[in-house]
Chains A and B, each alone.
Chain A
Amino acid sequence: MSVPLLHYRPWNGELRGPVASVWPIARVALRVIFRRKLFWGIYGLGLMIFLLFFFGQYLLSWAEDQGDETNVSVMGFKESPKTLVHVLREILKLDGEPHTYRNFFWYQGYIVMVVLALAGAVLIGNDIHHGSMPFYLSKPISRWHYLAGKCLAISVFINLLTTLPALILYVQYGLLKSMDYFVDQFRTALGILGYGALLTVSLSLLVVATASLVRRTVPLIMIWTGLFFFCRLLSQALVDLLHYSRLWRLIDLWNDAYIVGNALLGIDPEKLTPREQPTWYEALTVLGAMCLICLIYLIPRIRAVEIVR
């Protein structure tokens, strides 16, 4: 049927290239996830840690402003400001230093893992399981554009839980302290962005590859938790309990990102906890190798449909 019979209005614009398809693919993926109550429930739990940090920093600033008062009332509890400051600064490490943000990224690990399991199952698993791939690949786009779109959507989830809240904490601390904070700790801001970018690239590739490998939700979760939880427990048990070599910590991918993020934030590696950690270049090598393996796997996997020209 020719176009005039369909009564379309004539359009005189220029068709954009396949690169322009990346954002629409990501946008649709985001919409699919954002309309689920489950996602918002999980995101709400993830924000709990952020709120803890947020209000902790505010409380610290307020306590420091109390000066030499002997006793102040905090929500009905009487406490010395010096104790509050000590707890918040020294114990919880809410002091605006780079390790505050590094710790924040670490604590968000559990929730990021759950959100990515959901995203992987819905965005990629469903496409393959329900046969939606032909709809994408029959358009004049390549598998790389499809992959980029999905990775872009997943990176939004990762950054919503890690980079964006960390930057908000950074800005909050600066506003509470002084504007000099932004100058003095400029490298920290870059470090936060770098840590976020590292997580984005590595985790989005990993979740797309895993979801393409196992399309159903339960096997995806088993592998995903195996990669994160099992490997973490294993590495902790091997190194801390059985005193094996520190290199065994490299099997914990979240820890590898933590080590590299630590380096990006300019923190002395000796201050990493737990102790006996690999070096940042060892961790980066492992992450890089993992990304490469994922890419190599995805090349044939996404070519699920023969495009007849």
Chain B
Amino acid sequence: MKEDTKEETMRAPGTGVPADVAPVPALPPHYSTASPPDGPVTPSPLRAWFYLVGLSLQRQARVGQIVWIALGLLAFSGLLVGTITVSGWWGMQNRRLPRSREGVTYQNWAELTDALSQGAALPGSPEVAGINQALVASYRAALERTDFYVFSNFLVFTIFVSFLLPIWSLSFAADSLGGDREGGSLVWLLTRPLSRPAIYLAKFVALLPWSIGLSVGGFAVLCLAGGRPGWQALRFYWPAVFSGTLAFSALYHLMGAYFKRPAIVALLYSFFLETLLGNMPGYLKRGSISFYTRCMMFDAAQNYGVEPEKPSVYLAVDGSTACMVLLAATVVFLVVGMVLFSRSEYLAAD
């Protein structure tokens, strides 16, 4: 063998069993993976894909901590909402104007107004009395409807959309691929005969029941705990919650394919960039997912006085546009993620 053989194709010939080694013992009698008793079974890629979806769905709950913390947040929020509901604090009835211990509650204002209008009614003028009564009645009716307004602003916009929605989406979506990368177990999927886009899609489909279940289901639980205003909120806002969850999940799943620590990047996005963009003037805020979620909510509940603080500055879009943007964003993130995942090489976990 000369040096130039290095330049030729190097062939390893075959089993070169050393002569001085003991003979091969027989393998266990059952061992044969080659031929099943009923005839050869052809493996099916579609069957493999569906199995991967099921396996990933099951494995999403493997990090018990994530599930418990998510449920803990839900329990805590639910308890808080329930306490407020039971003590009747949703409406403005018990708020004081002016805001101090000496202020009069709105409920009292309604009664005072009623009493005043009756006392001050012009004698012999049923028309004036009628107008007075109509005014007081509509004031009372409006006061009754303020519970939905308060519920929307307190729970839905402040607590849910700003925090619970992104964090519940993040918990499962960032861990879907990110957890396997961090743990080093992605190798098992990458060496199966499954195309990379198929693996990515299967993982996404598997995480959706978890993130949607938690977001929409969790929202439903909070709304139920909110009593009457909660029911209204659920009816109006669930499509926005659903669409927002889809978009967040798709984005975080994409981060899982690209970044080594997708959870940190997702955190940066949802609690820094979204806050920053959300407070930017003009059209910059249209780069954030929660903007469109809120627009859908504003559109759904506009008849109840639920609107952005400064509508001319906020420049909200209508509900159907916002919904389409969220769904389109979901598809775009999914496609980009599939392309990225199919081109990337994943080495050992860091």
Contacts of A42 in B (CB 8 A): 264, 268
Q: Within the assembled complex, what's the spacing in Å between the Cα atoms of A32 and B95?
A: 53
Contact A45 B268 (CB under 8 A): yes
B118-168 interface with A by 8 A CB criterion: 150, 153-155, 158-159, 162-164, 167
B275 within 8 A of A: yes
- Contacting A at CB under 8 A, from B238-276, are 259-261, 263-268, 271-272, 275
Q: Smallest distance from the beta carbon of B249 to chain A beta carbons, Å?
A: 14
Closest residue of B by beta carbon distance from A236: B158
Q: Which of these, A121, A219, A234, A241, contacts B80 with CB under 8 Å?
A: A234
State in angstroms the CA–CA spacing of A282 and B66 once bound together.
32
Establish whether residues B70 and A222, one from each chain, have CB atoms under 8 Å apart when the complex forms.
yes
CB-contact partner of B263 in A110, A218, A226, under 8 A: A218
A61 at the interface (CB under 8 A from B): no
Q: Check B89 against A218 for contact (C-beta < 8 Å).
A: no
Cβ of A147 < 8 Å from any Cβ of B? no
Query: Is the pair A230, B73 in contact by a Cβ cutoff of 8 Å?
Result: yes
How far, in angstroms, from A233 to B261 measured CA to CA in the complex? Answer: 26
- Total interface residues on A, using CB and 8 Å? 30
Min CB distance, B37 to chain A, in Å?
44
Q: Among the listed A45, A217, A223, A229, which residue makes an inter-chain contact with B69, where contact means beta carbons less than 8 Å apart?
A: A223
Please name the residue on chain A nearest to B96 by beta carbon.
Answer: A243
Q: Is the CB of A38 within 8 A of B264?
A: yes
The answer to the question of A264 belonging to the interface, with a C-beta cut-off of 8 Å to chain B, is no
Q: How far is the CA of A113 from the CA of B275 in the complex (A)?
A: 14
The complex places the Cα of A171 from the Cα of B272 at a distance, in Å, of: 28
Within 8 A of B (CB), among A201-259: 214, 216-219, 221-223, 225-226, 229-230, 233-234, 236-237, 241-243
| Docked CA distance A104–B5 (Å) | 70
- Chain B binding surface SS class: helix
Q: Is B65 in contact with A219, judged by CB distance below 8 angstroms?
A: yes
**A217 and B261 in contact (CB under 8 A), knowing A117-B267, A233-B163?**
yes
**Total inter-chain residue pairs, C-beta < 8 Å:** 102
A137 to B70, CA, bound (A): 34
Q: Return A214 CB to nearest CB of chain B, in Å.
A: 5
Chain A residues within an 8 Å CB radius of B89? 242
CA–CA, A241 and B80, complex, Å: 14
Known: A216-B179, A222-B167, A243-B99. A114 touches B268 (CB 8 A): yes
Task: With A114-B271, A118-B261, A243-B95 as known contacts, state yes or no: A218 contacts B170, CB within 8 Å.
Answer: yes
Q: A110-B271, A242-B89 are in contact. Are A219 and B63 (CB under 8 A)?
A: yes
How many chain B residues touch the partner (CB < 8 A)?
41
Interface flags for B44-71 (1: CB within 8 Å of A; 0: not) read 0000000000000000000101100110
Q: Are A218 and B265 in contact (CB under 8 A)?
A: no
Say whether A153 faces chain B, with CB atoms less than 8 Å apart: no
Chain A residue with Cβ nearest B155:
A237
Tell me which residues across on chain A come within 8 A of B70, comparing CB atoms. Answer: 222
Tell me, in angstroms, the Cα distance from A221 to B261 when the chains sit together: 11
* Contact (Cβ within 8 A) B268 A233: no
| Cβ contacts under 8 Å, B65 to chain A | 214, 216, 219
- How far, in Å, is B194 (CB) from chain A's closest CB? 25
Chain B residues, Cβ within 8 Å of A230:
73, 159, 163-164, 167
Report the bound CA distance from A111 to B264 in whole Å.
Answer: 11
Question: Per-position contact with B for A88-120: 1 when CB-CB < 8 Å, else 0?
Answer: 000000000000000000000011011001100
Residues of B within 8 A of A114 (CB): 264, 267-268, 271-272
Do the beta carbons of A241 and B158 come within 8 Å of each other? yes
Please determine whether B271 and A38 come into contact, CB atoms closer than 8 angstroms. no
Q: When the two chains form their complex, are residues A218 and B271 in contact, meaning their CB atoms are under 8 A apart?
A: no
Residue in chain A with minimal CB distance to B68: A219
Known contacts A118-B264, A217-B264; is-contact A225 B171 (Cβ 8 Å): no
CA distance A236 to B155 in the complex (A): 11
Chain A residue nearest in CB terms to B89:
A242
A217 touching B263, Cβ below 8 Å: yes
**A residues within 8 A CB of B307?**
none
Give the residues in chain B near A237, CB-CB below 8 Å.
Answer: 154-155, 158-159
Contact of B265 among A38, A110, A223, A243 (CB under 8 A): A38
CB neighbours (8 Å) of B153 from chain A are 241
Q: List 11 A-B contacts (CB under 8 A).
A: A114-B271, A118-B261, A217-B261, A217-B264, A219-B63, A219-B69, A229-B162, A230-B164, A233-B162, A237-B155, A242-B150
Given contacts A38-B265, A217-B178, A243-B99, 8 further A-B contacts (CB under 8 A): A110-B275, A218-B66, A221-B264, A226-B69, A234-B159, A237-B159, A241-B153, A241-B154
Closest 7 CB pairs of A and B: A219-B65, A217-B263, A222-B69, A218-B175, A218-B263, A237-B158, A241-B154
